[in-house]
Amino acid sequence: MPAAGESPAALRLEKVSHAFVSARRTATALREVSADAARGTVTGVIGPDGAGKTTLLRLAAGLLKVQSGRIEVLGIDVARDPDQARRRLGYMPQRFGLYEDLTVRENLDLYAKVQNVPAAQRHRRGGELLHMTGLEPFLGRLAGRLSGGMKQKLGLACTLVRVPELLLLDEPTVGVDPVSRRELWEIIDHLVHTEQLTVMVSTSYLDEAERCQRVLLLHEGRLVAATDPASFTARSTGRSFHVSAAGIGKRQLQEQLARTPGVIDATIQGAFVRIVTAPGAQPPADSLAALAAPLSVVAVPPRFEDSFVAQIKQVSAPPPPNTPAIATGGTRSEEEASAAMTRREGRAPSTTDEAVIFADRLTRRFGDFVAVDAISFQVRRGEIFGLLGANGAGKSTTFRMLCGLLPASDGTLRVAGYDLRHAAASARGRIGYMAQKFSLYADLSVAENLRFFASAYRLHGAQRSARIDWALEEFVLGPYLDVVSRDLPLGYKQRLALACALMHAPEILFLDEPTSGVDPLARREFWLRINALAESGVTVLVTTHFMEEAEYCDRLAILAQGRVLAAGDPESLKARARTAAQPQPTMEDAFIALLEAAAAPQAA
């Protein structure tokens, strides 16, 4: 095999373009992408949804026909000899490629046989992988019964039964809790060190991208950046600031800053609003016209995410003037607020001390299994309250009880003043609910979906038309009116789902993993809308596994094994994880520290 000496790159892409042609339209997934991955390195492929990440990996794995350009895997032309290339690479598809009705052992055995791992080696390698992934105790368990994190590790183990030279991982950590994500990365680092493995991994988690030696940033099929994470981050040096203003709520401040010219990005981070300015633009002056209070602007070191957002916004075409981009999302909030006020007969549209959601010793049992164990919390009007937790922590069960979809076994639960035991239906009329997978009718157009949901909430005639017009304008769905919702871009699907949930102008909005699988840009836009809603007095309850999104919450509760592990505002939760080694813990650090602390007494 001459390959090792000849080509220094494990993977080389030369002007690779790819388009998907269907009867109705042609979608370009990749445009002249040239890049390479050096042996023994980890390359991260990042970019918004639909950027072409999966297409890139599938092309490298020989799963798609190379339409134009050239791809070399370990010196082998993939178009010419895909079988030879496949013999030397490992590939884990997005859904891990596991047989759910086979046990952990049977899955491993299958892949070992299919990859012709010699029997003697099979045993040793299998043992090693099981040890590394911590799956030893679960050998006899069906893969379908494993948690998301364990499935992902088993999937990885299956691709590694025969040591590949190049490992391709397609979004291996989607829907996996933070602890498992961290463990997966430890395994990858270990493999790179001990087995000289080359890894290419696509991810929508930017913190994972920072762990790579090199990142490839794709946007709309183009390679926007190919560099190491540190230099990538450095691209926005001198453009990142923390802004605060005395006496002004951080949400209101964020909204104003996002609308300020020269500000590319504005997010809430702790007590501050973090902004990134356009190249060459000055940081905002001491005060903003719209705000009376003076601003304090402090330069801060750039983050990876700052560069990510800046780079993508830079290459994206500026939005046409009649399309209010995220920055103007707030312009309609006053109207929305006043509409909400008239509906609620003049109740104060801001945070009050009145508890809109009141849960006391809420418990749900399934047979002997206690899914939710006496949890208590209160959510005030106009507050954004987050429920955080790993898979199986009891988030979904709690959520279903709050929506009146599942009766509580024990405890008290009041939503919008109604006891859910007796008046679940009345309470539901005050609730808007956006389910995890958006629950839209994929075959209906945008207009049809809106009409259906309006009717489902018993809106008729003029009232119905008014709400639909509101939704089309507020969510800028007008241009997509007749598009079948299956064909909508993901970000627009999310807007439509939110519009449907808000059809009846609910007082309380439940969001179940609303941003799962959505890229950082679409997440930002989404949260701007949610902020505007909260400002107008809507109470928002959200579950998420994106720890940085916890920053958007006023208060949150971290759940583990059906109990509230900790509750409070983001700052105080982060403060608990502050150590000498980690003076600036992130929400994720705090989450992991809390979980570890909770697990420790049990382990001892």
**Which residues are bridge partners to 358 per DSSP?**
378, 414
Q: Count other Cβ atoms within 10 Å, centred on residue 286.
A: 10
Q: In the complex with other proteins, which residue's Cβ is closer, 58 or 380?
A: 58
Contact between residue 508 and residue 378 where contact means Cβ atoms under 8 Å apart: no
Supply the minimum distance, in Å, between the C-beta of residue 91 and other proteins.
4
Question: Binders of other proteins among 8-47, rule CB under 8 A?
Answer: 20
559: closest CA among 549, 544, 574, 571?
544
CB of residue 125 to other proteins, shortest distance in Å:
15
Decide whether 62 or 562 has the Cβ nearer to other proteins: 62
Nearer to other proteins, 61 or 200 (CB): 61
Give min distance, CB of 308 to other proteins, in A.
Answer: 28
In the bound state with other proteins, the residue whose beta carbon lies nearer, of 101 and 334, is: 101
Nearer CB in complex with other proteins: 119/246: 119
Give the residue from 538, 163, 563 showing the smallest Cα distance to 397: 563
Binding-site member from 135, 158, 258, 273 for other proteins (CB under 8 A) = 158
- Binders of other proteins: how many residues, by CB under 8 A? 37
Task: Output 94 or 376, the one with its CB closest to other proteins.
Answer: 94
Query: For residues 60 and 540, which CB has a smaller minimum distance to other proteins in the complex?
Result: 60
Closer by beta carbon to other proteins, 85 or else 379? 85
User: Near other proteins by CB under 8 A, which window of 63-71, 197-205, 518-526, 580-588?
Assistant: 63-71
Name the minimum Å distance from CB 443 to other proteins: 13
Tokens of 68: 């134009």
Place of tokens 């092309």: 59
Q: Which is nearer to other proteins, 155 or 506 (CB)?
A: 155
- The region of 56-64, 279-287, 448-456, 529-537 touching other proteins under the rule CB under 8 A is 56-64
In the complex, minimum distance from the CB of residue 92 to other proteins, in angstroms, rounded to a whole number: 7
* Least Å from the CB of residue 191 to other proteins: 18
- Closest approach of other proteins to the CB of residue 64, in Å: 5
- d(CA 378, CA 419) in angstroms, rounded, equals 14
- List Cα–Cα distances, 301 to 217, 230, 240, 263, 589, in angstroms: 21, 12, 7, 16, 19
| Residue 439 to residue 115: CA distance in whole angstroms | 40
Q: What angle do CA 451, 456, 462 make, to 5 degrees?
A: 50
d(CA 280, CA 422): 60
List Cβ neighbours of 206 (8 Å cut-off, separation of 6 or more): 46, 304, 305, 308, 520
Token pair in block for residue 512: 């179940």
User: Of 417 and 517, which has the nearer Cβ to other proteins?
Assistant: 517
**Cα 43 from Cα 582, distance rounded (Å):** 27
- Min separation Cβ 26 and other proteins, Å: 13
The Cα–Cα gap between 384 and 497 comes to: 19
Task: Quote the least distance from Cβ 58 to other proteins, whole Å.
Answer: 6
Q: In what order do the strands lie in the sheet with 555-560?
A: 431-434, 508-512, 539-544, 384-389, 555-560, 563-568
Distances (CA, A) of 201 to 41, 93, 98, 166, 215: 11, 11, 19, 11, 9
Query: Rounded to whole angstroms, what are the CA distances from 258 to 79, 277, 291, 524, 540?
Result: 46, 10, 13, 11, 21
Least separation in angstroms between CB 151 and other proteins:
11
In terms of CB distance, is 63 or 374 closer to other proteins? 63
Rank residues 115 and 363 by Cβ distance to other proteins and give the closer one: 115
Using CB under 8 A as the binding rule, the residues of this chain from 295 to 354 that contact other proteins are none
Q: Which stretch binds other proteins (CB under 8 A): 154-162, 199-207, 485-493, 577-585?
A: 154-162
Collapsed DSSP state (helix, strand, coil) of residue 152 = helix
3-state secondary structure of 70: strand
Shortest gap between Cβ of 204 and other proteins (angstroms)?
A: 18
Binding part of the chain for other proteins, among 40-48, 59-67, 392-400, 448-456 by CB under 8 A, reads 59-67
State how far Cα 164 lies from the chain centre: 30
Interacting residues with other proteins between 80 and 139 (CB under 8 A)? 82-83, 86-87, 89-102, 106, 109-116
CB within 8 Å of 473: residues ≥ 6 apart: 332
The one among 65, 193, 421, 486 contacting other proteins by CB under 8 A: 65
CB of 211 to other proteins, least distance (A): 24
Query: Contacting other proteins (CB under 8 A), which of 62, 148, 302, 349?
Result: 62
Q: Which residues bind other proteins (CB under 8 A)?
A: 20, 58, 61-65, 82-83, 86-87, 89-102, 106, 109-116, 155, 158-159
